[in-house]
Amino acid sequence: MSGRAGDHVISSRPTEEALIARYFAPLAGPGADGLRDDAASLAPSPGHDLVLTADAIVSGIHYFPDDPPESLARKALGVNLSDIAAKGAVPRGFLLTLALPADWTEAWLARFAEGLGQASRASGCPLLGGDTVKSGGPALIGVTAIGEVPAGRIVRRATARVGDRICVSGTIGDAALGLRMRLDPDAGWVRALDAPARAHLADRYLHPQARLGLADAVLRFATASMDVSDGLAGDLAKMLAGAGATAEIDAAAVPLSPAATRAIASRTDLFDVAVTGGDDYEILCTVAPDSCDAFRAAAAAAGVPVSVVGTVGSGSGLPGFRDAEGAARVFAAGAFSHF
Amino acid sequence: MSGRAGDHVISSRPTEEALIARYFAPLAGPGADGLRDDAASLAPSPGHDLVLTADAIVSGIHYFPDDPPESLARKALGVNLSDIAAKGAVPRGFLLTLALPADWTEAWLARFAEGLGQASRASGCPLLGGDTVKSGGPALIGVTAIGEVPAGRIVRRATARVGDRICVSGTIGDAALGLRMRLDPDAGWVRALDAPARAHLADRYLHPQARLGLADAVLRFATASMDVSDGLAGDLAKMLAGAGATAEIDAAAVPLSPAATRAIASRTDLFDVAVTGGDDYEILCTVAPDSCDAFRAAAAAAGVPVSVVGTVGSGSGLPGFRDAEGAARVFAAGAFSHF
Report the gap between the CA of B298 and the closest CA in chain A (Å).
24
Rounded Cα distance between B33 and B45, Å, is 19
Report the pLDDT value the prediction gives residue B333, as an integer from 0 to 100. Answer: 55
Provide the CATH number for the domain around residue A312: 3.90.650.10
Give the end of a domain, one of B116, B150, B184: B150
Per residue in B55-114, pLDDT (tens digit) is 999 999 999 999 999 999 999 999 999 999 999 999 999 999 999 999 999 999 999 999
A54: nearest CB among B49, B57, B97: B97
6-25 in chain B: CB under 8 A from chain A: 6-11, 13, 15-17
**pLDDT on residue A12:** 59
Same domain, residue pair B125 and B220: no
Q: Which residues of A touch B60 (CB under 8 A)?
A: 5, 136
Residues 132 to 191 of B: which have CB under 8 A from any A CB? 132-138, 140, 142, 144, 146-147, 149, 151, 154, 156-158, 179, 182-183
CATH classification at residue B40: 3.30.1330.10
- In a domain? residue B140: yes
B121 to chain A, any CB pair closer than 8 A? The answer is: no
A146/A184 same-domain check: no
Residue B41 lies in a domain: yes
Report ipTM (2 d.p.): 0.94
Domain count, chain A: 2
Put simply, whether A242 touches B (Cβ < 8 Å) is yes
* Contact with chain B for residue A244, Cβ under 8 A: no
Q: How far is A293 from chain B (nearest CA, A)?
A: 27
User: Which pLDDT score, from 0 to 100, does residue A9 have?
Assistant: 40
Residues A146 and A169 in one domain: no
Residue B135 has its nearest CB partner, among A50, A140, A156, at: A140
Cβ–Cβ gap A49/B60 under 8 Å: no
Amino acid A14: pLDDT: 81
Question: Least CA distance to B32: which residue of chain A?
Answer: A52
Chain-chain contact of A133 with B140 (C-beta, under 8 angstroms): yes
Look at residues B90, B117, B150 and tell me which one is the last residue of a structural domain.
Answer: B150
Q: Which of A36, A50, A61 sits opposite B157 (nearest CB)?
A: A36
Q: Please check whether residue B20 lies inside any domain of the structure.
A: yes
- pLDDT, block means (10 residues), chain A with 339 residues: 39 79 94 94 97 98 97 98 98 98 96 98 98 97 98 98 98 98 97 98 97 98 97 96 96 98 96 96 98 98 98 95 89 57
Contacts of B227 in chain A (CB under 8 A): 38
The whole domain housing A273 covers: 165-329
The count of residues in chain A is: 339
Residues B52 and B126 in one domain: yes
Query: Is residue A83 within 8 Å of residue A235, measured between CB atoms?
Result: no
Of chain A residues 251-280, which have a CB less than 8 A from chain B? 278-279
A238–B17 CB contact, under 8 Å = yes
pLDDT tens per residue, range A177-235: 999 999 999 999 999 999 999 999 999 999 999 999 999 999 999 999 999 999 999 99
Which residues of B are less than 8 Å from A9 in CB distance?
A: 338
- Measured in angstroms, the CA of B194 and the nearest CA of chain A are apart by 23
In sequence order, what are the beta bridge partners of A63? Answer: A59
B190 and B273 both lie in a single domain: yes
Residue B159 lies in a domain: no
User: Is A102's Cβ below 8 Å from some Cβ in B?
Assistant: no
Residue-level pLDDT at A338: 46
Q: What is the pLDDT of residue A334?
A: 47
Is residue B335 included in any domain, yes or no?
Answer: no
**Which chain A residues contact residue B7 at CB under 8 A?**
61
Chain B residue closest in CA terms to A240: B36
B107 touches chain A (CB under 8 A): no
Whether residue A174 sits in one domain with residue A311: yes
A251-271: pLDDT as tens digits: 999 999 999 999 999 999 999
Q: Which among A1, A60, A183 has CB closest to B229?
A: A1
Residues A225 and A295 in one domain: yes
Q: Which residues of A touch B54 (CB under 8 A)?
A: 95-97, 129-131, 144
Q: Indicate if B65 and B145 belong to the same structural domain.
A: yes
Predicted pLDDT at A83: 98
Instruction: Tell me the C-alpha to C-alpha distance, in Å, between residue B320 and each of A267, B247, B313.
Output: 73, 7, 11
Kindly state whether residues A202 and A295 are assigned to the same domain. yes
Binding-site annotation, residues of A for Mg(2+)? 38, 53, 55, 83, 131, 227, 230
Within this chain, do residues B110 and B233 fall inside the same structural domain, yes or no? no
Per CB-CB distance under 8 Å, the chain A contacts of B140 are 99, 133, 135, 140
Residue A10 lies in a domain: no
Q: Confirm whether A159 is domain-assigned.
A: no
Between CA B56 and CA B98 the distance in angstroms is 10
Block mean pLDDT (10 aa), chain B, length 339: 39 79 95 94 97 98 97 98 98 98 96 98 98 97 98 98 98 98 97 98 97 98 97 96 95 98 96 96 98 98 98 95 89 57
Q: Would you say residue A9 lies in a domain?
A: no
Same-domain pairing of B188 and B69: no
Q: What is the 3-state secondary structure (H, E, C) of chain B?
A: CCCCCCCCCCCCCCCHHHHHHHHHHHHECCCCHHHCCCCEEECCCCCEEEEEEEEEEEECCCECCCCCHHHHHHHHHHHHHHHHHHCCCEEEEEEEEEEECCCCCHHHHHHHHHHHHHHHHHHCCCEEEEEEEECCCCCEEEEEEEEEEECCCCCCCCCCCCCCEEEEECCCCHHHHHHHHHHCCCCHHHHCCCHHHHHHHHHHHHCCCCCHHHHHHHHHHEEEEEEECCCHHHHHHHHHHHHCEEEEEEHHHCCCCHHHHHHHHHCCCHHHHHHHCCCCCEEEEEECHHHHHHHHHHHHHCCCCEEEEEEEEECCCCCEEECCCCCEECCCCCCCCCC
Same domain, B122 and B173: no
> What is the least distance, in Å, from the CA of A43 to any CA of chain B?
5
Q: Is A134 within 8 Å of A154 (Cβ atoms)?
A: no
With CB atoms and an 8 Å threshold, state whether B61 touches A156: no
